[in-house]
Structure 1
Amino acid sequence: VSFVVLIGLAAKNAILIVEFARQLEDKGRDIVSAAVEACQLRLRPVLMTSLAFTSGVLPLYFSKGAGAEMRIALGTGVFWGMIGVTLFGLIFTPVFYVVMRKLVTRRQRSATSAVQPAE
């Protein structure tokens, strides 16, 4: 259950960063500066979402009473997983964005040069 939650929130954070990077790239920025600026612009919303989510999971993490073992296990996985997903997402999302955009543009250039007839 916690794994599915983490995948959903990590995807949401990555979509925010990639969407802003694409918008900046469409405005004329190069790929790397668009990715860096998108991370700078979306850092605060991503951190606020993650902080709110991890704060909401704290009662599970510190639960007591009947059934506490299950709630603690779920809370531990979600709490630390969200911290890890947030940190790794902020680091690796722009890196993967830059790598994939460069691969796509290189492939598009080679495809257009192969299609044009030689004169």
Structure 2
Amino acid sequence: MAVIAMLLLTGISLKNAILLVDFAIHAERARGMTAREAIREACLLRLRPIVMTTFAAALGALPLILMGGCGEELRQPLGIALIGGLLVSQAQTMFTTPALYVVVGRLIGRRR
């Protein structure tokens, strides 16, 4: 069951990273911003939707942890893996995606 949680976490984390990168690329092209300025603005403007998605998924997984009854031993690890993974992926998305975007932007800038 925890493997199902990992698949869900991968999807949510990638969606969050795509939101940031897409917004930053659009800002770079449309307004002529540097990679650093564009990803900073993307992080500031897209933080709320990303946090809302994370909290909605975490609150959806909360009953899996709190519910008892038949099958509890299968559902509880799924809920724990989801909530823990959501917190880690949230932090990872907000720190590593901008850093990688700036590094890749610098590498592309050097090639040009």
TM-score (norm 1): 0.88
Moved over 3 A (4+): none
The partner residue of 1:47 within 36, 40, 51 is 51
**What stretches of structure 2 of length at least 5 have no aligned partner?**
none
Match of residue 18 from structure 1: 21
Matched, 1:89 2:89: no
User: Residue 100 of structure 1: which of 68, 93, 104 is its match?
Assistant: 104
Which of 20, 26, 34 is equivalent to 2:38? 34
C-alpha separation between the residues in 2 aligned to 1:104 and 1:2? Answer: 35
The alpha carbon displacement at 1:104 in A equals 1.8
Within the alignment, does 1:59 sit opposite 2:63 as a pair? Answer: yes
Higher relative contact order (CA 8 A, sep 6+): 2
1:64-79 mapped onto 2 (5 Å cutoff)? 64-79=68-83
Matched with 1:117 is: none
Offset from partner CA, 1:75-119 (integer Å, 9 cap, x none): 000111011101111111111111111112212x2xxxxxxxxxx
Taking the aligned partners of 1:13 and 1:46, their CA distance within structure 2 comes to: 6
CA RMSD across the alignment: 0.8
Alignment length, in residue pairs?
A: 108
The amino acid across from 2:6 in the alignment is F
Q: Structure 1: which 5+ residue stretches go unaligned?
A: 110-119
TM-score (norm 2): 0.93
Aligned-partner Cα distance in 1 for 2:96–2:11: 16
- Which residue type is aligned with residue 63 of structure 2? P
Mean CA deviation greater in 8-17 or 62-71? 62-71
